Amino acid sequence: MKIKILHNPYSNRWNSQKRWADAENALRLAGIDFDLSVSEHTDHLISLAAEAVKQGYQTLIVAGGDGSIGEVINGAAQSWDKKSAFPVTIGIIPLGTANDLSDNIANPRDFSAVAQMIANGKTRAIDLGKCNERYFLNNSAAGLEPYVTTKQEKIKNLSGVPRYLLAAVQGIMDRPNWDAYLEWDDGSYSGPLSLVSVGNGHRTGGIFYMTPHANPFDGKLTFVHAYRSTRLGMFQVLPKAMKPDKGNMVEMEGIHELHCTRLKIHLDKPSPAHTDGELFDTWLTDFEYKIFPSAVQMIVP
């Protein structure tokens, strides 16, 4: 059966639409037979993916960014009973701003290489995370990280890495913080909190390694909880959050990286939250995370 490609033209601020012709040409040259559906508004990919599953498509290819992947996963999951295999195989044509998940699983960026990867059809089972009622494949967070995202969405005159960095500076200057209670498999924490980042993948925002030792194939969520009492302390964290391994922020005092299969968070006041870069509609005080090991077949090189 033909595959379904779900394209988000708005990804990377309409650059996805500009680059689609090149991606489509690479797919045609690789001999890939596909049907195409195009998102027309926010969350449209959710319903498009749900409908594609009902129509019997067995492979969904997401042409977009991390948020687009998140929408497709949540749409496809509407037909998943969690007792049987996930209903579709997922592939990625990286057309987003950061393309974190695609990079985290070592997918190529070149369209010809991506098309050949899809044609080859090699898959690997990737873990699937869940925060409350939303699924995610790359990461989720509460506290400073999604607070920065609220800043980023208001920045219109920059794109890419400069936009992420400016939003991070603006967020740190506001110095948001919470009192929190965290409980996971074999531990707990009660006290002040600047951020909680929950990773299936290790990179987010194109340049930030918030959970540097996360592995989307290990059956675990990796989470970091951190508190820095001053703006200076938070600014000291920023460059270290850009280091993928040695020298990362998790080596700093007051920052802890752990692995778990479940995590509960209670905050004293609401915080913004996101999964795969997409903000929840409302700010939250309670979060429940879990992992579904090796749940989704993902097309890989």
Average pLDDT over residues 175-197: 97
Q: How far apart are CA 286 and CA 149, in angstroms?
A: 19
- What single DSSP character describes residue 210? S
- Cα torsion 104, 107, 108, 111: sign: negative
Collapsed DSSP state (helix, strand, coil) of residue 294: strand
pLDDT of residue 37: 97
Taking the CA of residue 174 as centre, how many other CA atoms within 13 Å lie in the half-sphere pointing to its CB? 16
Whole-number percent of the chain with pLDDT over 90:
89
Whole-number percent of the chain with pLDDT over 70:
100
pTM of the model: 0.94
Q: What is the pLDDT of residues 73-119, one digit of tens each?
A: 999 999 999 989 999 999 999 999 899 999 999 999 999 999 999 99
Collapsed DSSP state (helix, strand, coil) of residue 214: coil
pLDDT of residue 3: 96
pLDDT of residue 1: 61
Average pLDDT over residues 108-134: 97
pLDDT of residue 164: 83
- Where are the extended beta strands (E) located within 170-283? 178-184, 187-193, 195-199, 221-226, 255-260, 262-271, 273-275, 278-279
pLDDT of residue 276: 96
The yes-or-no verdict on residue 199 having pLDDT over 80 is yes
pLDDT of residue 163: 85
Q: What is the pLDDT of residues 235-284, one digit of tens each?
A: 999 999 999 999 999 999 999 999 999 999 999 999 999 999 999 999 99
Quick one: CATH architecture of 139-293?
Sandwich (2.60)
CATH number of 3-121: 3.40.50.10330
Q: What is the pLDDT of residues 45-65, one digit of tens each?
A: 999 999 999 999 999 999 999
DSSP 111-128: HHHHHHHHHHT-EEEEEE
Q: What is the pLDDT of residues 3-30, one digit of tens each?
A: 999 999 989 878 899 999 999 999 999 9
Domain boundaries, the chain: 3-121, 139-293
